Amino acid sequence: MVTRAVPEPALELLRASADVWVSPHDRALSDDELREAVAGADAVVTMLHDRVDGALLDAAGPKLRVVANLAVGYDNVDVAAASARGVVVTNTPGVLTDATADLAMGLLLAVTRRLGEGERLLRAGTPWDWAMDFMLGSGLQGKSLGVVGLGAIGRATARRAWAFGMEIAYTQRHRAEAAIEAALGGARFVEREELLASADVVSLHCPLTAETHHLIDAAALRAMRPTAYLVNTARGPVVDEAALVEALRSRVIAGAALDVFEHEPEVHPGLLELDNVVIAPHLGSATVETRNAMAMLAARNALAVLAGDDPPTPVKP
């Protein structure tokens, strides 16, 4: 059972070994629709907007063996509940690293150089003329990027920022290997408080967990420099969106660039009103090549479990 249409090559791979039902709706299914659709399934391919909890797993029944989540994050899946029922959970890491890091870098450039603001000015037909002080932004060379979560996407984003001449600092639960720090131009491991206080750009790449929910709240935003920018390509609820709007309105920080939102697909109306915000509709992995690779990996994960083999990318219970 596939909860939403995916690229055809992945469906062809699944159909070669199984009877496949794909949701006919071009939208996220409701909880009731999901529970009805999964009944009797051996495998379910889910999207990041599908809530996979105990109720859904029970609705699927005892035949269910694998939930193949088509995302690198799996905060939408109750992994413990799945494990307790003997259901394997998989995700799609690796294949979307570069696409998401590219987007993070694009957002970083857009907000620091005021690209969205400039485009809106032109599209509105506002008169303008070149001047020495016209729409000045902030350069990146010699500035510091603070990475929250130096996983694969965090490292890839840091590599891009370093190539632009930025200095890299990072924070996470444990310090990275020396070789990783060296590859990022001598990236510095710091505590979160120091990173917030010192970084010119804070870029979020941590998973959404109970510990990281609202990691960036009003206090964290006040700890940042008034000239600093926030970039979020992780998960929306890592940021307290209401607190961010207030911080941007009152210029507690200089700006923010967001690809994800706390109540996605809803966007806080305050963000839409502010010029010092760049927003994108969750486009982190949105390239043809990446979405094809994600779907193929999810299909291979599902088929491996059904065949009694180890899946390529399991989520550890």
Q: What are the tens digits of pLDDT across the range 267-282?
A: 999 999 999 999 999 9
Marked catalytic residue, from 65, 235, 268, 291: 235
Task: Flag whether 315 is in a domain.
Answer: no
Do 23 and 103 lie in one domain? The reply is: no
Task: Flag whether 314 is in a domain.
Answer: no
Do 249 and 116 lie in one domain? The reply is: yes
Do 172 and 250 lie in one domain? The reply is: yes
Domain region containing 162: 97-279
Active-site residue, 15 included: no
Task: Flag whether 313 is in a domain.
Answer: no
Task: Flag whether 147 is in a domain.
Answer: yes
pTM above 0.75, yes or no: yes
How many domains in the chain? Answer: 2
Do 142 and 196 lie in one domain? The reply is: yes
Section 35-58 average pLDDT = 97
CATH number reported for the structural domain that contains residue 211 in this entry: 3.40.50.720
Q: How confident is the model at residue 214 (pLDDT cuts 50, 70, 90)?
A: very high
Do 243 and 200 lie in one domain? The reply is: yes
Marked catalytic residue, from 268, 282, 291, 300: 282
Active-site residue, 49 included: no
Do 111 and 227 lie in one domain? The reply is: yes
Do 71 and 137 lie in one domain? The reply is: no
**What whole-number distance in Å separates Cα of residue 267 and Cα of residue 250?**
19
Task: Flag whether 311 is in a domain.
Answer: no
Marked catalytic residue, from 33, 194, 246, 264: 264
Do 185 and 84 lie in one domain? The reply is: no
pLDDT for the residue 49: 95
Task: Flag whether 142 is in a domain.
Answer: yes
Active-site residue, 235 included: yes
Do 24 and 117 lie in one domain? The reply is: no
Do 31 and 55 lie in one domain? The reply is: yes
pLDDT for the residue 204: 98
